[in-house]
Amino acid sequence: MLETRINLAAFRHNIQTIKNIVGKTVSLLPVIKAEAYGHGMPRLAREALKLGAPMLGVGTIEEGVPLRQNKIAAPVLLLDGIFPEQAEDAVKYHLTPVVFSLETAKILDKIGKKKGRKISVHLKFDTGMSRLGFTLAETKRVLALIAKMKNIHVEGLMTHLASSADHQSPQTEHQLRRFDAVIAEAKRAGLKPTYIHSANSGAILNFKKSHYNMVRPGITLYGAPPVEIEGNKFREVMTVTSRLVIVKEIPQGEGVGYGATYITPRAKKIGVVMGGYADGVNRLLSNKGSVVVKGKVVPILGVVCMDNFMVDLSKAPTAKPGDDVILLGGGHDETSAEKWAELTGTISYEIFCRIGMGPRIKRTYVNG
């Protein structure tokens, strides 16, 4: 069994660092979808709320309801919106939908009329991501129609920035100009949203003008910012460990693992580590990745298996069965999420989600 240790002090540090960047007049909407990127949603939700977050961001209603079942009463924004048949449950559990279709807005308006109260929503506009959101062409008509819905409270206006991690890309500035036009049109329609937000982690660090009065930090909360800014040091929150199952001497010329993709050039001491691709240890780390044993960075040998993988213990000759192995994190560059992402052709987001949500992983919290 693998174990993920979640450093709550590091999580708190990262939130405070973001608060220092955006200033006191800008609220934080911590994004804790996908089980807080594999870090554990309910616990990190509580930590974020303790530090003053007015609202939490999840993806779907299936993520929002468990927060209520965990007795978290704070506002929860459903960033991926809802299907029409989910509207009743969204209202029942006091979840705030992101709305990007008139059909959904009309259904929520009817439910609000039936229940005798206004339903809060955030309206999302597609300014260049080409994903979720009302199109710019329908902006004026949509805002005018929703402004007339007596049982809808437009609490927020939002968009999503596609290239904010690249401060040289002109796309972000282009999207912000479009979003400013949406905001102006909303004002003309008589809407007075409490929150206006566009900034994800990259925009928080790269584009101050994107902050408006709320920002949506995601990956930066977990210590893997998409861009490093001088003086703003974020701390890794997740460390993943396992143990050596067995240690053995392998003679020269022997194959290691499925397909014998590694042949020992000389006699070697190898160790078998518990955990494999079923636990989120990507198979693309085969013969490329590294782990830490006895404080030494040691390479993965052969193909990562479903339940385990092999490592070269030449640099850790005193290692024995039962010894701890750091797979991810631990303050080592070679076991950082960014390094895993580089080696496997993906992004740190996916690394955290895959390994942090494995069914055979024990999650513990430290520095609570």
230: pLDDT strictly greater than 90: no
Nearest to 212 by CA among 166, 175, 170: 175
The CATH number that domain 8-222 falls under is 3.20.20.10
Of all residues in the chain, the percent with pLDDT exceeding 70 is: 99
Q: Predicted confidence band at 198 (pLDDT cuts at 50, 70, 90)? A: very high
Q: Which of 248, 258, 320, 362 is catalytic?
A: 258
CB distance 224 to 338 below 8 Å: yes
Where exactly does CATH 3.20.20.10 map onto the chain? 8-222
Task: Give the CA dihedral 55, 53, 216, 80, nearest 10 degrees.
Answer: -20
Q: Please report where in the chains the tokens 């584009």 appear, as a residue.
A: 207
* Residue 92 neighbours by CB distance under 10 Å: 12
The model's pLDDT over 71-117, given as tens digits with 9 standing for 90+, comes to 999 999 999 999 999 999 999 999 999 999 999 999 999 999 999 99
Q: Predicted confidence band at 357 (pLDDT cuts at 50, 70, 90)? A: confident
* Residue 72 neighbours by CB distance under 10 Å: 16
Q: Which of 19, 33, 268, 339 is catalytic?
A: 33
The 3-state DSSP class for residue 159 equals coil
Instruction: Say if pTM beats, i.e. exceeds, 0.85.
Output: yes
Query: What is the average per-residue pLDDT within 164-186?
Result: 96
232: pLDDT strictly greater than 80: no
Please report, as a single letter, which amino acid is at residue 121: V
Q: Predicted confidence band at 368 (pLDDT cuts at 50, 70, 90)? A: confident
Where exactly does CATH 2.40.37.10 map onto the chain? 238-335
Q: Predicted confidence band at 257 (pLDDT cuts at 50, 70, 90)? A: very high
Q: Is 258 a catalytic residue?
A: yes
Quote the pLDDT of residue 138: 97
Query: What is the average per-residue pLDDT within 269-283?
Result: 97
Q: Predicted confidence band at 222 (pLDDT cuts at 50, 70, 90)? A: very high
Quote the pLDDT of residue 1: 80
Min mean pLDDT across 105-119, 275-289, 351-365 is at 351-365
The 3-state DSSP class for residue 363 equals strand
Report the CATH architecture of 238-335: Beta Barrel (2.40)
